[in-house]
Structure 1
Amino acid sequence: MIQHCLFTLLLYVDDMIITGDDPEYIAFVKARLRDQFLMTDLGPLRYFLGIKVSSNSDGFYISQEKYIQDLLARTALGDERTVETPMELNVKLQLTDGDPLSDPTSYRHLVGSLVCLAVTRPDISYPVHILSRFVSAPTTVHYSHLLRVLCYLRGTITRRLFFPRSSSLQLQCYSDATWASDPSDRRSLSAYCVFLGGSLIA
């Protein structure tokens, strides 16, 4: 899986550090790139790979609100209900829960779409990880939990990640793990998150 990040241009010129917020040097880099490559300047970043980028004096926001809208439209859920959490607390899904789906294509498509969405919505990472374990043989129970994630997204569609301009460059990582918590094979489950200053990057 490709991990997407937000990068700051950092170049060294005559022992000076030039960062990505220096407009004169940005213009210089663009001119040099145009000398070597066929390229078009599209102006300030607005959309990239389906990710919307907006900024103000405090920092940058990234979101995939349109992606969620398109996903909900394709799924055509029968109601407008929302839920407060993407997955119920202490759910222990197993391979044998429920009846096998006659056509697992929709389940696989939705899980794949949610994996892409988790780039800007880390709050769904855990349930998407759990539900992706059943793509080979999903059941009606797994599918109902998948629809719950979509209902959660409908109610939280405007949430986005914030990257402050004033953030420090200190790297911090947090991790945790369960001990033999999987009911089917007794494997442990681990998770982590990485912050650059106050910005979640992985």
Structure 2
Amino acid sequence: MIITGDDPEYIAFVKARLRDQFLMTDLGPLRYFLGIDVSSTSDGFYISQEKYIQDLLARAALGDERTVETPMELNVNLQLTDGDPLSDPTRYRHLVGSLVYLVVTRPDISYPVHILSQFVSAPITVHYSHLLRVLRYLRGTITRRLFFPRSSSLQLQCYSDATWASDPSDRRSLSAYCVFLGGSLIAWKTKKQTAVSRSSVEAELRAMALLTAEVTWLR
């Protein structure tokens, strides 16, 4: 159980009442929870999944120590028939599933993970090679963290973008957005649009509509 708030006396009261009713141990300030590392400084909080990435790379057992600068090449259009089917897709599915959870603190891999997740039912060799590229990118950027400053405004700043007809299989576009609360990144998403956009303007408007719904909920 994690207890949060800005009233230390009431937090102590709640913990005392819980100890009266349940067998529990006070582990002190939050440092590690469900694969997420949390560190506190006088300026704010950092969250990361460095240990989670280390464990993921160990399970992946990459045969080299190479790193890459970006998680995915530009203008890549992956399809279902660009290579040979994997003899055992279990490994691909396991690694992609792990990356989906990693997006919780690594918005920089949100786009490639979204793309690779579309092929978990029938992955091929080309998909697996792009998956390995994401892992090599993570190896070179393993120390990256999200920062949440203690002193920050409560003003929402939002950004959206979209591709147009980027999926060659169904001609649907992708929407993407990120939302900042002051200087803190608090929400982000990459998602395929539910309908075919007939122009790049329509694709952008659909992305803005998705972001507007998110901002309305946050407010």
What is the alpha-carbon distance in structure 2 between the residues aligned to residue 37 and residue 177 of structure 1? 50
Contact 2:3 2:11 survives alignment (8 Å): no
Count how many residue pairs are aligned between Structure 1 and Structure 2: 186
CA spacing shift, 1:17–1:79, aligned 2, 3 Å: closer
CA spacing shift, 1:17–1:133, aligned 2, 3 Å: closer
SS of aligned partner of 1:17: coil
User: Which residue of the other structure, out of 47, 52, 77, is the alignment partner of 1:62?
Assistant: 47
Q: Percent identity?
A: 95
What is the deviation of 1:19?
Answer: 8.4
CA spacing shift, 1:140–1:44, aligned 2, 3 Å: same
Contact 2:160 2:175 survives alignment (8 Å): yes
TM-score after normalising by structure 1: 0.86
Q: Deviations over 1:118-175 (max 9, x none)?
A: 1011111100000000111111000000000000000001111111000122233322
Query: Relative contact order (C-alpha < 8 Å, sep 6+): which is higher?
Result: 1
Contact 1:172 1:197 survives alignment (8 Å): yes
**Gap regions ≥5 residues in structure 2:** 187-219
User: Which residue of the other structure, out of 158, 176, 181, is the alignment partner of 2:161?
Assistant: 176
Contact 1:18 1:25 survives alignment (8 Å): no
What is the alpha-carbon distance in structure 2 between the residues aligned to residue 29 and residue 171 of structure 1? 32
SS of aligned partner of 2:2: strand
The root-mean-square deviation of aligned C-alpha atoms, in Å, is 2.9
What is the alpha-carbon distance in structure 2 between the residues aligned to residue 36 and residue 194 of structure 1? 40
Contact 1:86 1:149 survives alignment (8 Å): yes
SS of aligned partner of 1:18: coil
What is the deviation of 1:17?
Answer: 20
What is the alpha-carbon distance in structure 2 between the residues aligned to residue 177 and residue 159 of structure 1? 25
Q: Which moved more, 1:110-119 or 1:189-198?
A: 189-198
The aligned counterpart of 2:145 is: 160
User: Aligned pair 1:145/2:130, yes or no?
Assistant: yes
CA spacing shift, 1:18–1:79, aligned 2, 3 Å: closer
What is the deviation of 1:38?
Answer: 4.0
SS of aligned partner of 1:174: strand
TM-score after normalising by structure 2: 0.79
Contact 1:46 1:53 survives alignment (8 Å): yes
What is the deviation of 1:52?
Answer: 0.6
CA spacing shift, 1:151–1:19, aligned 2, 3 Å: closer
What is the deviation of 1:18?
Answer: 13
What is the alpha-carbon distance in structure 2 between the residues aligned to residue 39 and residue 196 of structure 1? 34
CA spacing shift, 1:17–1:135, aligned 2, 3 Å: closer
What is the alpha-carbon distance in structure 2 between the residues aligned to residue 17 and residue 127 of structure 1? 32
Q: Deviations over 1:33-67 (max 9, x none)?
A: 33454432111101111101001000000111111
**Gap regions ≥5 residues in structure 1:** 1-15
What is the deviation of 1:26?
Answer: 2.2
What is the alpha-carbon distance in structure 2 between the residues aligned to residue 17 and residue 42 of structure 1? 10
